[in-house]
Amino acid sequence: MFDVTGVLVSTALHTTSLLTLSSICALKPTTSPGPQQRFDGLD
């Protein structure tokens, strides 16, 4: 059986993650000079 709930939750999580990343990039254009610093911050 197709798990509709699982798909909806997965889609919501992916959408939220994309919106969060977009917001961070939009709000901090000067404090994030490049991808390397963002990746370093995740560690």
HEC readout, the chain: CCCHHHHHHHHHHHHHHHHHHHHHHHHCCCCCCCHHHHHHHHC
pLDDT for the residue 25: 74
pLDDT for the residue 12: 94
- What pLDDT, in 10s, does the model give residues 1-43? 678 899 999 999 999 999 998 888 777 655 555 555 555 555 4
pLDDT for the residue 43: 46
pLDDT for the residue 31: 55
* pTM of the complete model: 0.46
